[in-house]
Structure 1
Amino acid sequence: MLSRVAEDLYWFGRYVQRAENTARLVSVHSDLVLDLPRNIEVGWSALVEILGAGTQFAERHGSDSGETNVVHFLVLDPANPGSVASSLSRAREILRTVRESLPHETWEHLNDAHLLLQEKGDRLLGRAKRQELLQRVLDTALMTYGILGASMNHDVGFQFLRLGTNLEQADMTTRIIDVRTSSLIKPRVADEQLRPFQNIQWMSVLHSLTAYHMYRRHERSRVTGSAVLRFLLQNREFPRALMFCCTMIGATLPRLPPNRAAERALERTRALVQDANIDRLLESGLHEWIDEVQIGLGRLHQAIAESYFRT
């Protein structure tokens, strides 16, 4: 396989996964606004933080991080390379060049979602129609995964696509946990009054990763911070958990040409996750620990790019 095609498939997986996660974040956050009392301010800027787009947002909107600006920036703004529209547009452009490698139905669904955002996105972005628009993006992403998993040869091209998908999900899972567990809610009232709503915050973390129902099935108890973190970081069976993504990457690398640098980066990151003391991290040090994991994921991406794409 040409290195260019391998890179395209890798990034196709990342872009579709990014579009889905961003759409889900906005959808869950919109619901959270309705669940919390009016005297608790839900900061929309947290979503920009999760995606690491603070600089681009400030260039576009300054310090005005209200709902309208943030939602438009994350969903439709073509100047934001991480927006839903930008991610789907890039995935669509890749699909035009590697269409012979992927099932034809993939193009139909992805192109329909792209055109919907381009032609009707502004009209559907208000609160009344927003969930309908975001659900269309989510359905498109899930349908794409289903078509590729069921109808694409599981050859080396599929392995690169799967590599990109899992690495993107691992990155997004750590970002969501890092920001949502620290700066989601800005209290305007006494801490005692906030305690009844702490579970809502932890549930929003789960919903951001479509993990709520699987968490309840796994834990069979009320939602607590330590249990949520343990599930999202160390569970080996939930597809969006960090450890699951690392395991899938580990199962994919042996099916590609040998890459010792990528294997070492993955081994270090996986050991970091496996050996983490969740209760201690929750008390102090979670942010620093996630920074270490992010650095490890960055090294893994770098090793993959240098070995397979820059030849």
Structure 2
Amino acid sequence: MLSRVADNLYWFGRYLQRAENTARIVNVHGHLIFDLPRQVEFGWLPLVQILGQEEQFRERYNGDSGEAQIMRFLLLDEQNPASIISSLQHAREILRTIRECAPREVWERLNDLHYLLQEKGDKALSRSKRQEFLQQIIDGALLMYGMIGANMSTDVGYHFLRIGASIEQADMTTRIIDVRSSSLIKPKAAEDLAPFQNIQWMGVLRSLMAYQMFRRHVRGRVNGPNVLRFLLQNREFPRSVTYCLNAISQTLPRLPPDRPLQRTLDRCRALVMDADVDRLMLGGISEVMDEIQLGLADVHAGVSKAWFQAA
């Protein structure tokens, strides 16, 4: 397979995963409004922070962090590389050039989502229409995953797509943990936050569609240590960081060998598995999430150097 095609499939997996996760965190964030009392201020800026686009957002919208501006930035702003419309446009452009590598039905469904954004995207800026619109994006992405898994040959191209999706999901999981666990709820007084800690961690789980599986695997309360342990170190939940890294490790033997990449991946996995969750709860969540994100960036750089860059 040409390195250009492999690179495209890798990024197709990343962009599709990014669009679905962005739609999901916006959708869940809106639901949390109904779980919080009036004395707790509800912030929308954490959604921008999760995607690492706060600086660009403030430049483009002159610091106005209202709900309408943030929704437009995350859903429909083509200059925001992390917006849903940008992610799907990039994925569509990639698939247009390599249509022979993926099932035709994936191309058709991606076009449906593209035209949905073009025709009805503005309506999603209002709360009354947003949930239905975002659910269509999520369902469309999940349908494409199913088509890829059921109908795409598990050859080299499939494995590159899987690596891209796994890196993107692991990165998004760490971002959601980092930002949502610290700045989702803004109480007017410090003592107002304590009664809603569990709601906050429940929002973290629901942002990753993890609540039901958490209940199945963890025989305990929804609290910080249990949620962190599940989302970072569980080996069976597909959106946990450890699961994503293990998926990449299982894929590597099917590709041309590259020992430096394997060592980089092993270091990143060790960082996640060795994390002391109880100590993280004392104030070190952001630092460890930053370290994991840097590790994932190293894995991405290793993948690019091993197979996509010209010798």
TM-score (norm 2): 0.98
Please provide the CA RMSD for this pair.
0.9
Q: Distance in 1 between matches of 2:55 and 2:194?
A: 33
Q: Distance in 1 between matches of 2:280 and 2:197?
A: 18
Per the TM alignment, residue 196 of structure 1 is displaced from its structure 2 partner at its CA by 2.2
Aligned residue for 1:4?
A: 4
Superposed CA offset, 1:232-273 (max 9, x none): 000000000000001001001111111122111100010111
Number of residue-to-residue matches in the alignment:
310
| Secondary structure class of the residue paired with 1:186 | strand
CA contact (8 A) 2:42 2:184 kept: yes
Superposed CA offset, 1:74-116 (max 9, x none): 0111110110010001101111011000000001111101111
CA contact (8 A) 1:15 1:88 kept: yes
Q: Distance in 2 between matches of 1:90 and 1:33?
A: 32
Aligned residue for 1:71?
A: 71
Aligned residue for 1:161?
A: 161
Q: Distance in 1 between matches of 2:244 and 2:50?
A: 19
Counterparts in 2 of 1:112-151, with a 5 A limit? 112-151=112-151
Aligned residue for 2:31?
A: 31
CA contact (8 A) 1:125 1:133 kept: no
Q: Distance in 1 between matches of 2:308 and 2:55?
A: 28
| Secondary structure class of the residue paired with 1:285 | helix
Aligned residue for 2:225?
A: 226
Percent of pairs with identical residues? 61
CA contact (8 A) 2:78 2:86 kept: yes
Per the TM alignment, residue 220 of structure 1 is displaced from its structure 2 partner at its CA by 2.9
Per the TM alignment, residue 221 of structure 1 is displaced from its structure 2 partner at its CA by 2.5
Moved over 6 A (4+): none
| Secondary structure class of the residue paired with 1:41 | strand
Aligned residue for 1:242?
A: 241
Aligned residue for 1:185?
A: 185
Per the TM alignment, residue 39 of structure 1 is displaced from its structure 2 partner at its CA by 1.5
Query: Which residue type is aligned with residue 121 of structure 2?
Result: G
CA contact (8 A) 2:123 2:130 kept: no
Query: Which residue type is aligned with residue 194 of structure 2?
Result: R
CA contact (8 A) 1:61 1:69 kept: yes
Counterparts in 2 of 1:94-105, with a 5 A limit? 94-105=94-105
CA contact (8 A) 1:166 1:249 kept: yes
Q: Distance in 1 between matches of 2:190 and 2:156?
A: 56
User: What runs of 5+ residues in structure 1 fail to find an aligned partner?
Assistant: none
Superposed CA offset, 1:175-198 (max 9, x none): 11011111111111351x432221
Per the TM alignment, residue 43 of structure 1 is displaced from its structure 2 partner at its CA by 1.1
TM-score (norm 1): 0.98
Aligned residue for 1:273?
A: 272
| Secondary structure class of the residue paired with 1:80 | coil
Counterparts in 2 of 1:286-297, with a 5 A limit? 286-297=285-296
Aligned residue for 1:282?
A: 281
Kindly tell me: are residues 301 and 154 of structure 1, through their superposed partners in 2, closer, same or farther at Cα, counting changes over 3 Å?
same
Aligned residue for 1:251?
A: 250
Aligned residue for 1:44?
A: 44
